[in-house]
């Protein structure tokens, strides 16, 4: 199955050349690239959040495999849905799913289900692909959508990803694979439809927990302060996986909000980009 683009021409430009130009405008030429275990990247329309996503991906030495974890906005499909076979298409081309790694993740956790329905109309992972495609010619993905964001589920998803990545490294030692040969991207916007000042205050409480590599702290901070961070579940799972794989530090790459583009600072959406190493 080829998963067709659901938001081309809406969240981002719909033709190859126009999308390439749109992404290029957000790429930071000459940025220092680091080996990373994980990242947080936003998923709004590129005109609003593209500068943050572009800064994140510009700062990473992209590996050959990217695990994408996003929130399920549509309500379709399994509570935790992994598309394990097939390809994804954008105007920039077709990307293969890493079927072997996908199957390995599925084998570790009964909470993760093989399911493509959750992915068909969901935008949170799709909008990540043009940035990776612009920067890297060939790579594979493992796409995961999370509707179930209970803490125990987030932790199990993260642990399953870490176990599968480690197992792949053991099996394919002849290729000298390490944990850094897979990037785990959590797709999330931050506060929704509050003033810019409120968004900044609330969002930085969550960002602080991300930078402290504290998945439990992030989960409870979001709940306690009513932070409308749509991808907190994927972010918790990403942190759990990265810590299990040896992460020691995280860096805030960029923070902004939609008001910087729309001019409306009374009702904004916040966007944060974080890299975990």
Q: Residue range 54-68: average pLDDT?
A: 98
In this predicted model, what pLDDT tens digit does every residue of 185-202 receive, in sequence order?
Answer: 999 999 999 999 999 999
Q: Which of 123, 50, 37, 55 is nearest to 88 (CA)?
A: 123
Number of separate domains in the chain: 1
Q: What value does the mean pLDDT of the chain take?
A: 96
Whether the full predicted model's pTM is greater than 0.85, yes or no, is yes
H or E stretch covering 182: strand 182-187
Give the CATH number, domain containing residue 58. 3.40.830.10
| pLDDT confidence tier of residue 168, bands split at 50, 70 and 90 | confident
Q: Rounded CA gap, 64 and 15, in Å?
A: 25
Q: Rounded CA gap, 94 and 64, in Å?
A: 15
In this predicted model, what pLDDT tens digit does every residue of 79-103 receive, in sequence order?
Answer: 999 999 999 999 999 999 999 999 9
In this predicted model, what pLDDT tens digit does every residue of 211-246 receive, in sequence order?
Answer: 999 999 999 999 999 999 999 999 999 999 999 999
Tell me which residue range forms the domain holding 218: 2-276
In this predicted model, what pLDDT tens digit does every residue of 140-163 receive, in sequence order?
Answer: 999 999 999 999 999 999 999 999
């Amino acid at each position: 199955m080829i998963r067709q683009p659901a938001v081309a021409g809406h969240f981002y430009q719909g033709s190859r050349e126009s999308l390439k130009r749109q992404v290029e405008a957000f790429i930071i030429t000459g940025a220092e690239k680091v080996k990373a275990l994980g990242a947080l990247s936003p998923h709004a329309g590129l005109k609003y959040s593209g500068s943050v996503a572009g800064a994140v991906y510009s700062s990473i030495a992209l590996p050959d495999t990217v695990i994408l974890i996003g929130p399920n906005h549509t309500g379709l499909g399994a509570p935790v849905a992994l598309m394990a076979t097939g390809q994804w298409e954008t105007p920039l081309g077709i990307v293969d799913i890493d079927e072997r790694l996908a199957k390995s993740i599925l084998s570790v956790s009964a909470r993760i289900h093989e399911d493509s329905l959750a992915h068909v109309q969901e935008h949170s992972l799709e909008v990540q692909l043009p940035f990776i495609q612009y920067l890297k010619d060939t790579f594979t993905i493992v796409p995961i959508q999370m509707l179930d964001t209970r803490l125990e589920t987030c932790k199990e998803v993260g642990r399953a990803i870490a176990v599968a990545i480690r197992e792949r490294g053991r099996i394919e030692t002849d290729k000298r694979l390490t944990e850094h040969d897979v990037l785990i991207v959590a797709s999330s916007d931050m506060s929704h439809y509050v003033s810019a000042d409120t968004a900044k205050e609330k969002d930085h409480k969550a960002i602080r927990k991300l930078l402290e590599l504290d998945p439990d702290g992030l989960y409870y901070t979001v709940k306690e302060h009513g932070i409308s961070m749509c991808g907190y579940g994927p972010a918790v799972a990403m942190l759990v996986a990265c810590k299990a794989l040896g992460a020691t530090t995280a860096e805030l790459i960029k923070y902004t909000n939609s008001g910087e583009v729309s001019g409306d600072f009374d009702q904004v959406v916040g966007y944060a980009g974080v890299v975990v190493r």
